[in-house]
């Protein structure tokens, strides 16, 4: 097996460490909450005021698309538990549309009234481990009405400890928004982002519009094996964008797009069944993957089942079967197009692109750099005879009218 073996033990360790820390104080926590790490899930919430259409409970529902706002630009939001609970860090996540609005704040032990920490901007807050029944985040200044999507709390272990007050969630949202082509990700450096927080996913997150994950690690919808028919972690509707997301172990079937969609800086740490799949039914749909990376794919990274065009650029792939495959035996087949540009590939891997040239598929491949493959074992482009049932057969490999690339655009290092 080529999948990275270190992932699952790590998650298990974190859970164990947490269970040990929480010990007797949080006996009411369910196993599911313990696994998730975020102590706010299943806790209560209240606050000083709420803007119309928002609610206190929205900060502890695990969804980045629901939020609380004060009725004004400042106010307090609290997480509370039925019995004393040990907490040592919190993560304040703003909605992607209101990123950077939170100014100065105080984090208060509402049981005693003592201030645990003060700071500026949303993000991860670490403080000395405290046992309390109510934790209050008081926003004392804001550039305009803040929107707090999540107020996560952790006993320790699962919360990130590096750069706690520098608000990692507010910065990445501002730059890469408008045009993915002039993106800040330019040449894939292959350097993987570190997570600003973690989120256990128990059912598929539907995305319409834009979801900016602020580099939170989403994980655990599946056990992390290769079973077929696992649910995706994210399902994107036509026109949706998913960005700045880390997908951890237990990725299920990764990301599904039901039409045109854009994935910006999405990082799969341990691909499950597939990293992402373009479904849909319109021949004009385009799925664009810009930036990000994937590793540990024992089979495919990107799967193209619907019609249309699949664009993969500025991407890093390590330890994989196929980077892209036009479905070889879908019951409904189409002539599909794939564009691959500026990709950093690190062996081991089997092939970059697989297309059905008999069905009219076309590939365009440019700017590929391959590491650790001096014997050139990784195939750049394979042609198959695609079918609607049974198994497709491989009919060719290398540059051709269907496999559009030149060997000079492949660099070995
Ligand atoms: Ca929420």
342-to-204, 216, 312, 406 alpha-carbon distances in Å: 31, 25, 8, 14
pLDDT of amino acid 77? 97
For residue 47, the CA-to-ligand 1 centroid distance in Å is 15
Q: Which has more pLDDT, 396 or 159?
A: 396
Task: Give yes or no for a contact between 262 and 285, defined as CB atoms under 8 angstroms apart.
Answer: no
Mean pLDDT of the chain: 85
* pTM of the entire predicted model: 0.57
pLDDT band at 331 (very low <50, low <70, confident <90, very high): very high
What pLDDT is stored for residue 228 in this prediction?
Answer: 60
Percent of the residues in the chain that have a pLDDT greater than 70, as a whole number:
81
Instruction: Pick the range with the lowest mean pLDDT from 70-79, 169-178, 349-358.
Output: 169-178
3-state SS, residue 177: coil
Give CA 163 to chain center in angstroms: 20
Ligand 1 geometric centre to CA of 152 (Å): 10
Q: What is the pLDDT of residue 19?
A: 41
Q: Is the pLDDT of residue 83 over 50?
A: yes
The rounded Å distance from CA 72 to ligand 1 centre is 19
- HSE-CB for 171 with a 13 A CA cutoff: 10
Q: DSSP for 179-246?
A: -GGG-TT-S---PPPPPSEEEE-SSPEEE-SEEEEEEEEEE-SS-SS--SSPPBSEEEPTTEEEEEEE
pLDDT at 138 over 90: yes
Collect residues with CB below 5 Å from ion ligand 1: 58, 61, 63, 66, 149
Q: Answer whether residue 29 shows pLDDT above 50.
A: no
Query: How far apart (Å, rounded) are the C-alpha atoms in residues 43 and 123?
Result: 20
Average pLDDT for residues 288-314, to the nearest whole number? 96
Report DSSP state, residue 331: S
Q: What average pLDDT does this structure show over 270-279?
A: 90
Q: Closest Cα to residue 46, out of 90, 12, 80?
A: 80
pLDDT digits (tens, 9 = 90+) for 88-115: 999 999 998 898 899 999 999 999 999 9
Peptide bond between residue 206 and the one before it cis (omega within 30 degrees of 0): no
CA 110 to ligand 1 center in whole angstroms: 22
Q: Give whole-number Cα distances, 196 to 9, 46, 75, 167, in Å.
A: 20, 25, 24, 9
- Work out the pLDDT band at 226, boundaries 50, 70, 90: low
| Both structure tokens of 310 | 């699949």
Distance 214 CA to ligand 1 centre (A): 14
- Tell me the backbone φ, ψ of residue 296, rounded to 5 degrees: 75, 40
Residue 105 CA to chain centroid, in angstroms?
28
Beta strands 123-139; 104-109: pairing state: antiparallel
The H-or-E segment that residue 14 falls in is helix 7-22
| Per-residue pLDDT at 317 exceeds 70 | yes
Query: In the prediction, which pLDDT does 133 show?
Result: 95
**Range 220-231 average pLDDT:** 72
The pairing of beta strand 261-268 with beta strand 240-247: parallel
Asked if residues 38 and 152 have their Cβ atoms less than 8 Å apart, the reply is yes
- What is the Å distance from ligand 1's center to 220 Cα? 19
CA 69 / ligand 1 centre spacing (Å): 11
What pLDDT is attached to residue 26? Answer: 34
Separation of alpha carbons 336 and 199, rounded Å:
35
The torsion angles phi and psi of 233, rounded to 5 degrees, stand at -75, -40
Give yes or no for a contact between 394 and 384, defined as CB atoms under 8 angstroms apart: yes
* pLDDT of the residue at 272: 74
Judge contact between 250 and 225, C-beta under 8 A. Answer: no
Lowest mean pLDDT among 98-102, 310-314, 342-346: 98-102
Ligand 1 center from residue 150 Cα (angstroms) = 5
Degrees, nearest 5: CA angle 367-372-376: 70
CA 99 to CA 101: how far, in whole Å? 6
Give me the pLDDT at residue 130, please.
Answer: 93
Q: How far is the CA of 306 from the centre of ligand 1 (A)?
A: 32
Going from the Cα of 165 to the center of ligand 1, the distance in angstroms, rounded, reads 21
**Which DSSP helix (H) or strand (E) runs through 32?**
helix 31-36
Distance 120 CA to ligand 1 centre (A): 21
Cα–Cα distance for residue pair 261/252, rounded to 1 Å: 19
For 5-24, what is the mean pLDDT? 42
pLDDT score, position 17: 43
CB 80 within 8 A of CB 90: no
What pLDDT does 189 receive? 60
The helix/strand count (H/E) of the chain reads as 3, 23
């Amino acid at each position: 097996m080529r999948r990275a073996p270190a992932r699952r033990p790590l998650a298990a360790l974190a859970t164990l460490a947490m269970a040990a820390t929480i010990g007797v104080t949080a006996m009411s926590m369910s196993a599911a909450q313990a696994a998730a790490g975020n102590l706010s899930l299943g806790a209560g919430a209240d606050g000083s005021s709420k803007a119309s259409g928002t609610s206190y409970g929205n900060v502890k529902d695990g969804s980045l698309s629901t939020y609380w706002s004060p009725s004004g630009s400042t106010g307090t939001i609290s997480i509370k538990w039925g019995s004393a609970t040990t907490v040592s860090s919190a993560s304040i996540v703003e909605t992607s549309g209101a990123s950077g609005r939170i100014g100065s704040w105080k984090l208060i032990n509402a049981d005693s009234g003592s201030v645990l920490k003060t700071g500026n901007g949303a993000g991860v807050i670490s403080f000395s481990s405290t046992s309390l029944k109510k934790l209050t985040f008081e926003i004392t200044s804001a550039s305009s009405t803040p929107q707090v999507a999540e107020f996560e709390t952790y006993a320790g272990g699962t919360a990130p400890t590096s750069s706690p007050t520098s608000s990692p969630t507010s910065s990445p949202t501002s730059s890469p928004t408008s045009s993915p082509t002039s993106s800040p990700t330019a040449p894939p450096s292959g350097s993987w982002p570190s997570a600003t927080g973690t989120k256990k996913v128990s059912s598929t997150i539907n995305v319409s519009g834009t979801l900016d994950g602020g580099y939170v690690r989403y994980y655990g919808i599946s056990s992390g094996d290769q079973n077929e028919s696992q649910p995706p972690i994210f399902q994107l509707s036509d026109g949706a964008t998913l960005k700045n997301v880390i997908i951890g172990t237990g990725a299920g079937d990764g990301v599904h797009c039901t039409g045109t969609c854009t994935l910006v800086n999405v990082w799969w740490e341990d691909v499950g069944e597939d990293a992402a799949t373009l479904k849909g039914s319109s021949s004009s749909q385009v799925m664009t993957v810009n930036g990000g990376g994937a590793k540990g794919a024992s089979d495919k990274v990107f799967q193209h089942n619907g019609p249309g065009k699949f664009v993969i650029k500025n991407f890093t792939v390590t330890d994989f079967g196929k980077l892209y495959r036009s479905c070889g035996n879908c019951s409904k087949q189409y002539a599909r197009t794939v564009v691959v540009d500026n990709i950093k590939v690190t062996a081991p891997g089997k092939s970059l692109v697989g297309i059905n040239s008999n069905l009219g598929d076309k590939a365009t491949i440019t700017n590929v750099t391959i590491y650790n493959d001096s014997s050139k074992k990784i195939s750049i482009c394979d042609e198959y005879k695609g079918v609607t049932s049974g198994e497709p057969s491989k009919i060719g490999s290398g540059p051709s009218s269907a496999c559009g690339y030149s060997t000079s655009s492949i660099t070995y290092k």
